[in-house]
Structure 1
Amino acid sequence: MTDAPAAVLTDYDTYLLAVEQARTAAAAYYGDGTSPMDDESYDRLTRGIAAYEASHPEGVSSDSPTDKVAAGALAGGDVTHSTPMLSLDNVFNLDELSRWGAGVDKRLGRPVRNYHAGPKIDGLAIAAYYTNGKLEQLVTRGNGTTGEDVSHAIGTIAGLPDLLSASMTVEIRGEIVLTSEQFEDANRIRTAHGEPAFSNPRNAAAGTLRATGRAYTIPLSFYAYGLLSSEPGPSGDDIRDRMTHSLLMATLTSLGVQTVNDTPVGTLTFSDLTEAGAYIEKVAEQRASLPLGIDGIVIKADHPLDQKAAGSGSRAPRWAIAYKLPAIERTTTLKKVTWEVGRTGNLAPRAELEPVEVAGVVVTFATLHNPNLIGRLDLRIGDQVVVRRAGDVIPQVVGPVVSARTGSETPVPIPAQCPECGGGIDSSQERWRCLKGRACNLTRSIQYAVGRDQLDIDGVGQSTVTQLIAANAVGDIADLFTLSREQLVSATGSEKNADKILARISAARQQPLNRVFCALGVRGTGRSMSRRIARTFGSMKAIQEADAEALQAVEGIGPERAALVLAELAELEAVIGKLAAAGVNLTEPQVGTPVSAVSTAEGDSAAAPAPPLTGKAVVATGTMSGPLAGMSRNDVNELIERAGGRASSSVSKSTGLVVAGEKAGSKKDKADSLGVTVVTPEEFAEMVAAYL
């Protein structure tokens, strides 16, 4: 985990400017859900403000965000909260967390009894008021003291029932969010009604919660983190005075309310703060795959007496803290958009950005996926844009910060001709394509085909491919198999290299169908999909004869992808015919057939034993060693599937086996935490020895 370093404020003027920037950002964030500043930049700014104030206590501004609820820049609303909805102070590493814990212990004069930790959901905080078990009112956080009535949204929020399972008069606090699936659906609904797409889930949730009079409804989700009495008990106490926080969460669940306990990472109650580290690592590791946004972990003293003894400041409770995770979303400037043509002729727009650090990596370029996305997001050159990098995913532009526009932004230039060859463009599909297709960027198409995980023809680099194309010796991947020695000598300038390449081409004729299919570069497929298609049909002829319904029997192929694959196969029919004529293998070994197996005598009724990995999802991670040394990840995945298993890239409770080589990292740790069997490459090689 990394710190969010404080902004350096050198004088009183820069301090006042920072205070104003923080107030403006907070007002936008807690108001309509938009902000020209991302979370990490805001944290850096407020830490800088706090550092300046610590050195200059005589000059603290009355508008400073360090002494009030973060939403205090807002005017609030018409509804006064029964109890202020306070902010949380932040820590950014385990040392800071430890110092916070020591401070709480010092206030209590003894160690905290227990702690409760749960994910800090990146949503919009609300208070839900129930009377005799019926949901009567929803109120936004506002400025922490007063909020806005948004009761019109009752009935559209999953996880927040209109009726509780018990007749109670209570206030439930939590976060309104759009899950990843809801966010995608929301943008489909928005664009279908002629409105611009939302830039990110939090903005979308905030805008949706407040919206009235729309011709459509966007469902929201709710995750509770607090339970209060709407009216004092007989002795003037609150329900929070009688229950630990973990028991309050359990009570909410019993009432039919969705809570932070119901997120995939769950929550944790523990006695020693040193135990928080493992939970924090777990949440950080799973963050990218979660169905909702989180930006940290909230750690609280669990017992009500500890909370009461620790007390609260004017802006935050002293018994709770937010451990902030590094940002996976940052805001930066879109400088320009460039266009590339891929190996299949697809046009790929790429955003050039003002460099910004996202999740520990400096991002300068990000994908925009396709030209239509630029229009849907209404992107403009000069925009402040939200950039996301989750896990190992290529950085992507999520959307513009419309509230930060100055009027100087300009439209993104959209090409009328292919930027590679100057030819026409087919813009009838979501992904635009040069009318020349693969011929537009033949060099990249051939280079992909000869790659290690495809045909594995070593020695055919970019220079050689360029020479072969210039000499009209290669017009598609099938022409590789009819190259003469003279053509290769001319392209490489070396008889020795030419002979090596000829030998590799000869060996490539025996590659299994899945590699040949992958080498074709069929749009909508990749290495894993090519393996699944080849295993399903067994031969290229069977694939070509398959209809859309048959293709949809392959895992991961739906109606749209099936139609695309059929169109691609029709386009590649001549190339496939040339491959067959050149003697290239177009069949796939049967799953579960050992390499060393011999045919059984005709009439032998003895059933062959099931392959050792039958029915198991297997994940390979780290550097392979022993008999698997030198194998690429694709090689290992092919071995897994030959032995009857299903190659997977992520670890979950349904994973049957993890093969962990050197530097296995988080996937091995996750397997250990879930109780999934972990083996070394050497142990795995013994299990599948007959299939190597």
Structure 2
Amino acid sequence: MAVMTTTDAVIADDLAYAEAVETAVKAAAAYYAGGDSALDDDAYDRLVRAIVAWETDHPEQVLPESPTGKVAGGAAEGDVPHIQPMLSLDNVFSAEQFATWAASLERRIGRPVAAWSVEPKLDGLAVAARYREGKLVQLITRGDGTAGEDVSHAIGTLAGLPETLAEPVTLEIRGEVLMTAAQFERALAVRTEHGGEPFANPRSASAGTLRAKDRPYRLEMTFFGYGCLPLPAIDAALAERLSGSGHSDLMAYIADLGVHTTAATQVPARTATAVEEVQARVEEIAALRAELPFGIDGIVIKADAAADQQAAGSGSRAPRWAIAWKLPAVEKVTRLLNVEWNVGRTGIIAPRAVLEPVEIDGSTVTYATLHNPNDITRRDLRIGDQVMVYKAGDIIPRIEAPLAHLRTGTEQPIAFPETCPQCGSGIDTSEQRWRCERGRDCHLVASVSYAVGRDQLDIEGLGLTRVVQLTDAGLIKDFADLFTLTRDQLLTLERMGPTSTDNLLAAIEQAKSRPLSRVLCALGVRGTGRSMSRRIARYFATMDHIRNTDAEAMQKVEGIGVEKAPVIVAELAQLAPVIDKLVAAGVNMTEPGATPPSADGAEGAMALGPLHGMTVVVTGAMTGPLEKLSRNQMNELIERAGGKSSSSVSKRTSLLVGGEGAGSKRTKAEDLAIRIVSPDEFAELVADLLL
């Protein structure tokens, strides 16, 4: 049920129709073969809708290779048969179209739909994961819907798809593989570092990565389950147990088995009993689209009850009890005004596009990423070009392509820097990403400002102006030099009297006692941030153990893969002089409550804290003893107390800390009968750690 929209192209004649079919077939083939299609999901959908419109008016001219009416546009193939067909979804694009579809479904089953499940339509690649006695044994792509490609080589690489379930059951879990915003940005960096062309978008990146077997690097992806298929012939007991379970019940079941579902996101699936409720939920999810850490291209609406699904049945391409409400594309055309060259904390020289302001997905975009100089050359970008700008989730907007056919002849080539724009030193151009030859020393002010920030060393009184003063005066060459500053040195600076000097020295002294995770974060190692620094510190317990580890041992830390581990180890080696100065200055190099891993590599145990084994969600404004803590500091506090911090409420949540203005998360916690405490009550629970 593909419905034309006002933005769809119109095919004028049979020649244009043939060209459109050829373009669609090539795009689908490229996507399902390697994930490198030039068309994103929305552009492909619009093209196919135009083809459908032409074929509806000219049924006698339908070409046999047309992608219409075929799962995956007829492009995907596979040799592993599916237990049940793995179908696509039909689409609607408005409240009116959904109401019409819902009414037709209720006429088909002869009664009102008992309940609707409403969940985000994740923009990734559908796969089937087969478990035998709780062990993941096979991964299969959707393929043509009847058979798919075996991609079991990807087992162990997908976050959210455990290799062992919480129960030894035999079943098939179907879901979507995608890259989150953070994973996609990391994938772009890793791919270009290895000489590859940047991925077109997160969806094609996921498709290509899932199939890749011979790359010299690995990229992280995430799995979200959306279906559960019991296997009566193999596990009759489970099939009987789940018999008659609706969609929402099945999703709750696989979540309890340890599989990611949308229940763990900011937009969990919910049920509604009326069409108006469905429409309200669609609007709610659409409004959150720009804030999500992963791409969505619509909302999936399903008849939730098994009886309603069975009564509706399925067609050859799509089930009749489910529909995809597609959202508008998150791309617009605007003009490239300029290119700025910025230097990061590690010396990376990154181009940034300056755009004529354009509104995309509810926000005004004035800048976009350009990845690296090779990317600019490959795309033949020029100042003054009309460009297609793409945005999805929290990913920084990026330029998809110049519209060369709109050029007027006034466009100018983009000038590349010959020396470092920050310090004037030479540029190392030996890799895809250019770097200042001085590396970290190039951007000393930014590096030090980051290190003393609230979520790192938290040194009060060291704002940007003061850091500039210290560097200009030659008093610091890196942030470790802060710990050897003397009172006499500080008094020589402008606007530094005795009181402000003593206060700053006291704040620096206090920073010496920060936990190792904060110190590690302050170092600014590529591939680590606040949460990853906490994981590394908790695993190794001391800086000595971190510095003495190799890439293989570093991979044992949750979230660190084969491509990230050697980068972290190498950067720590480069930072040895800074770390040595920190140690000599008496800065703490241990993580409270953590013990080092054993000689055989087994992870050390954290001391049992008051939140041991608990999953804690924090929402609303904190007050009392917690008032000055940032959300990151709250997460750090939870983990030091033995708990696990989470951003979403689910059945696995143990405790919710509800501050002022707590909204939907508190409501959901109440619905799930989860324990809720005030900031003051939580402060009492972790009182020993607040001292």
Report TM bin, short chain: 0.5 to 0.7
Paired amino acid for 1:462:
L
**Which of the residues 261, 264, 268 maps onto 2:261?**
264
Provide the aligned C-alpha RMSD in A. 6.2
**Which of the residues 524, 536, 551 maps onto 1:548?**
551
8 Å contact from structure 2 (residues 185, 395) kept in 1:
no
CA separation in 2, counterparts of 1:155 and 1:448?
A: 46
What SS class does the counterpart of residue 690 from structure 1 fall into?
A: helix
CA separation in 2, counterparts of 1:32 and 1:339?
A: 34
The equivalent of 1:32 in structure 2 is 27
8 Å contact from structure 1 (residues 658, 678) kept in 2:
yes
For structure 1, the 5+ residue unaligned runs are 1-5, 9-13, 47-61, 126-137, 142-150, 159-174, 209-220, 226-245, 254-261, 309-315, 594-607
What SS class does the counterpart of residue 523 from structure 1 fall into?
A: coil
Of stretches 503-512 and 437-446 in structure 1, the one that deviates more from structure 2 is 503-512
The equivalent of 2:464 in structure 1 is 462
Paired amino acid for 2:636:
E
8 Å contact from structure 2 (residues 617, 657) kept in 1:
yes
1:576 matches 2:595: no
Shift of 1:440: 0.8
CA separation in 2, counterparts of 1:505 and 1:659?
A: 31
After superposition, the Cα gap between the structure-2 partners of 1:475 and 1:68, relative to the gap in structure 1 and judged at 3 Å, is: same
The equivalent of 1:400 in structure 2 is 400
**Which of the residues 543, 562, 566 maps onto 1:563?**
566
Matches within 5 A, 1:185-264: 199-200=200-201, 264=261
What SS class does the counterpart of residue 494 from structure 2 fall into?
A: helix
Shift of 1:640: 1.3
Shift of 1:355: 3.2
The equivalent of 2:355 in structure 1 is 353
Shift of 1:286: 9.2
1:611 matches 2:614: no
Q: Deviations over 1:414-440 (max 9, x none)?
A: 444322122123345564421212221
After superposition, the Cα gap between the structure-2 partners of 1:467 and 1:691, relative to the gap in structure 1 and judged at 3 Å, is: closer
Q: Deviations over 1:30-61 (max 9, x none)?
A: 87367889959999xx9xxxxxxxxxxxxxxx
Matches within 5 A, 1:26-425: 32=27, 39=42, 77=65, 90-92=92-94, 155=149, 179-180=178-179, 199-200=200-201, 264-265=261-262, 271-276=273-278, 280=282, 294-298=297-301, 323-325=325-327, 327=329, 329-333=330-334, 335=336, 336-371=338-373, 378=379, 380-381=381-382, 382=385, 384-390=387-393, 393-397=394-398, 400-401=400-401, 405-406=404-405, 408=407, 413-425=415-427
Matches within 5 A, 1:620-635: 620-635=618-633
After superposition, the Cα gap between the structure-2 partners of 1:194 and 1:611, relative to the gap in structure 1 and judged at 3 Å, is: closer
8 Å contact from structure 1 (residues 616, 645) kept in 2:
yes
**Which of the residues 425, 428, 436 maps onto 1:426?**
428
CA separation in 2, counterparts of 1:189 and 1:534?
A: 24
CA separation in 1, counterparts of 2:374 and 2:433?
A: 8
After superposition, the Cα gap between the structure-2 partners of 1:263 and 1:562, relative to the gap in structure 1 and judged at 3 Å, is: closer
CA separation in 1, counterparts of 2:680 and 2:442?
A: 45
CA separation in 1, counterparts of 2:296 and 2:438?
A: 42
After superposition, the Cα gap between the structure-2 partners of 1:437 and 1:297, relative to the gap in structure 1 and judged at 3 Å, is: same
Shift of 1:99: 8.7
After superposition, the Cα gap between the structure-2 partners of 1:490 and 1:331, relative to the gap in structure 1 and judged at 3 Å, is: same
After superposition, the Cα gap between the structure-2 partners of 1:520 and 1:122, relative to the gap in structure 1 and judged at 3 Å, is: closer
Q: Deviations over 1:433-454 (max 9, x none)?
A: 2121222111111211221222
Shift of 1:633: 1.8
8 Å contact from structure 1 (residues 640, 646) kept in 2:
yes
For structure 2, the 5+ residue unaligned runs are 29-36, 74-86, 127-141, 153-173, 210-222, 228-242, 251-258, 264-268, 596-605
**Which of the residues 635, 638, 647 maps onto 1:637?**
635
**Which of the residues 495, 503, 508 maps onto 1:505?**
508
CA separation in 2, counterparts of 1:185 and 1:515?
A: 22
Shift of 1:668: 5.0
Q: Deviations over 1:4-47 (max 9, x none)?
A: xx989xxxxx9999xxx99999996687367889959999xx9x
The equivalent of 1:688 in structure 2 is 686
CA separation in 1, counterparts of 2:51 and 2:565?
A: 59
The equivalent of 2:449 in structure 1 is 447
Paired amino acid for 1:575:
V
CA separation in 1, counterparts of 2:102 and 2:388?
A: 37
Shift of 1:631: 0.9
The equivalent of 1:218 in structure 2 is none
CA separation in 1, counterparts of 2:195 and 2:621?
A: 50
CA separation in 2, counterparts of 1:92 and 1:86?
A: 19
CA separation in 2, counterparts of 1:629 and 1:346?
A: 37
After superposition, the Cα gap between the structure-2 partners of 1:25 and 1:440, relative to the gap in structure 1 and judged at 3 Å, is: farther
8 Å contact from structure 1 (residues 468, 491) kept in 2:
no
**Which of the residues 518, 522, 536 maps onto 2:525?**
522
After superposition, the Cα gap between the structure-2 partners of 1:185 and 1:487, relative to the gap in structure 1 and judged at 3 Å, is: closer
8 Å contact from structure 1 (residues 26, 70) kept in 2:
no
Shift of 1:541: 3.4
After superposition, the Cα gap between the structure-2 partners of 1:436 and 1:691, relative to the gap in structure 1 and judged at 3 Å, is: same
Shift of 1:365: 1.6
8 Å contact from structure 1 (residues 485, 499) kept in 2:
no
Shift of 1:628: 1.2
After superposition, the Cα gap between the structure-2 partners of 1:106 and 1:425, relative to the gap in structure 1 and judged at 3 Å, is: same
CA separation in 2, counterparts of 1:25 and 1:556?
A: 43
The equivalent of 1:478 in structure 2 is 480
Shift of 1:341: 0.7
TM-score by length of 1: 0.61
8 Å contact from structure 2 (residues 357, 364) kept in 1:
yes
After superposition, the Cα gap between the structure-2 partners of 1:428 and 1:450, relative to the gap in structure 1 and judged at 3 Å, is: same
What SS class does the counterpart of residue 363 from structure 1 fall into?
A: strand
Total equivalences in the alignment = 565
Paired amino acid for 2:464:
Q
8 Å contact from structure 1 (residues 35, 401) kept in 2:
no
TM-score by length of 2: 0.61
After superposition, the Cα gap between the structure-2 partners of 1:325 and 1:22, relative to the gap in structure 1 and judged at 3 Å, is: farther
What SS class does the counterpart of residue 357 from structure 2 fall into?
A: strand
What SS class does the counterpart of residue 350 from structure 2 fall into?
A: strand
What SS class does the counterpart of residue 491 from structure 1 fall into?
A: coil
After superposition, the Cα gap between the structure-2 partners of 1:469 and 1:268, relative to the gap in structure 1 and judged at 3 Å, is: closer
Shift of 1:199: 1.7
After superposition, the Cα gap between the structure-2 partners of 1:494 and 1:270, relative to the gap in structure 1 and judged at 3 Å, is: closer
The equivalent of 2:77 in structure 1 is none
8 Å contact from structure 1 (residues 355, 363) kept in 2:
yes
CA separation in 2, counterparts of 1:430 and 1:569?
A: 22
CA separation in 1, counterparts of 2:534 and 2:563?
A: 19
After superposition, the Cα gap between the structure-2 partners of 1:73 and 1:623, relative to the gap in structure 1 and judged at 3 Å, is: farther
8 Å contact from structure 1 (residues 115, 270) kept in 2:
yes
After superposition, the Cα gap between the structure-2 partners of 1:389 and 1:672, relative to the gap in structure 1 and judged at 3 Å, is: farther
Q: Deviations over 1:274-320 (max 9, x none)?
A: 44258647966699879885423346799699989xxxxxxx99998
After superposition, the Cα gap between the structure-2 partners of 1:527 and 1:177, relative to the gap in structure 1 and judged at 3 Å, is: closer
After superposition, the Cα gap between the structure-2 partners of 1:572 and 1:32, relative to the gap in structure 1 and judged at 3 Å, is: closer
The equivalent of 1:258 in structure 2 is none
Paired amino acid for 1:466:
V
Of stretches 175-184 and 570-579 in structure 1, the one that deviates more from structure 2 is 175-184
8 Å contact from structure 1 (residues 518, 526) kept in 2:
yes
